[in-house]
Amino acid sequence: MTKRSFRFALALTAVLLGGAWTRLAHAQEPFFKGKTIHIVVGFSAGGGYDLYARAIARHMGRHIPGNPTIVVENMAGAASMISANHVYKVAKPDGLTIGHFIGGLFLQQVLGRQGIEFDARKFEYLGVPIKDTYCIGLTKASGITSLESWLAAKAPVKIGGTAPGSATDDIPAVLQAALGLPLQVVSGYKGTAEIRLAADSGEVAGFSTGWESFKSTWRKSLETGDAFIAVQAVAKPHPELPKVPLAINYAKTEEAKKLIQVGAHDPGILARPFVLPPGTPKDRVQVLRKAFMDIFNDPEFLVEAKKTNLDIGPLSGEEIAKTVENLFKLEAPVIERLKKILLPK
């Protein structure tokens, strides 16, 4: 095939695909027109998950044929497991319900956690807005000044949590097991908004979540020096946190490094999934996947994201589905070790 004929073939393919998409969009317009889509968020209002969902809800409707209204509902409880079970079992698979909960629950399913009533492999994935840079932030009042001083602390540092399956609980548990980090997770808060208040009042010393949430929801305390980021649980430092130590660099054994990789690094990719119930018609899945990804090129959305300090670095639904499948291929010894660390006692 000559270069000229190859370019012609590419152009023809683009035209055909464009035509197919236009027909699909027109076919779905009557369904979505005048309807309301509900984004069910598994945490309370004011936290990072809620902020991302509300920003997306304000702009996504413009990219869906028929321009439906999109509203956010908060369904907090059990580290968002209640909302995940609801989207899987109760919500109608008609394209009018989107779930947004902690992706750490997918690993919890692999480990066999009781109470999980979904199969992560059967959700329809729209994508994620950002890969989370998991960190632990502490208050100045905690008395801890660095990761080194924390490792040397004689008393456990109290960390606020929501429930197993959330980064608030799982990341500290993994670092405690891998590094011997002295800490105690005080679980049961409804979301990071409540934990943040508890930290500011001295009830706990800090908490774990993504830097993407920290900088938008705990910004004042970080700027005044009343709080700081003690450690990052990622493979490479976030560009905005070049001097904050990486947990994996303090791991002394290969087993410890493996635990941090599987239990902290990998879940960051899946941390903020937007999903549809199983059985949602494939044509509506396509429309909503495209609309979701189109948001991140929307100038109005990007302006809002910048104003509210929401980092943007989306991954598609197809990419997330593949990552979920890989979770179910973990080696048995790793699964058994993680069960002891992460499953509720």
The pTM for the full model equals 0.80
179 and 258 in one domain? yes
274 and 127 in one domain? yes
259 and 142 in one domain? yes
139 and 71 in one domain? no
What pLDDT is recorded for position 231?
98
Tell which of 248, 267, 286 closes a domain: 267
The boundaries of the domain holding residue 209 are 134-267
331 and 211 in one domain? no
263 and 153 in one domain? yes
Query: What is the rounded distance in angstroms from the CA atom of residue 293 to the CA atom of residue 314?
Result: 7
What pLDDT is recorded for position 109?
95
- CATH number (domain holding residue 139): 3.40.190.10
> In terms of Cα–Cα distance, which of 134, 142, 136, 135 is closest to 201?
142
7 and 84 in one domain? yes
Burial of 314-344, coded b for 16+ CB within 10 Å and e otherwise, reads: bbbbeebbebbeebeeeeeebeebbeebbee
User: Per-residue pLDDT for the chain (345 aa), expressed as one digit of tens each?
Assistant: 555 554 544 444 444 445 555 665 666 788 999 999 999 999 989 888 999 999 999 999 999 999 999 999 999 988 899 999 999 999 999 999 999 999 989 999 999 999 999 999 999 999 999 999 999 999 999 999 999 999 999 999 999 999 888 899 999 999 999 999 999 999 999 888 899 999 999 999 999 999 988 988 899 999 999 999 999 999 999 999 999 999 999 999 999 999 999 999 988 899 999 999 999 999 999 999 999 999 999 999 999 999 988 889 999 999 999 999 999 999 999 999 999 999 876
Q: Which two tokens stand for residue 277?
A: 């119930």
What pLDDT is recorded for position 26?
62
62 by Cβ neighbours in 10 Å (0-12 / 13-18 / 19+) ranks as middle
199 and 303 in one domain? no
What pLDDT is recorded for position 31?
94
Give the chain's domain count: 2
120 and 85 in one domain? yes
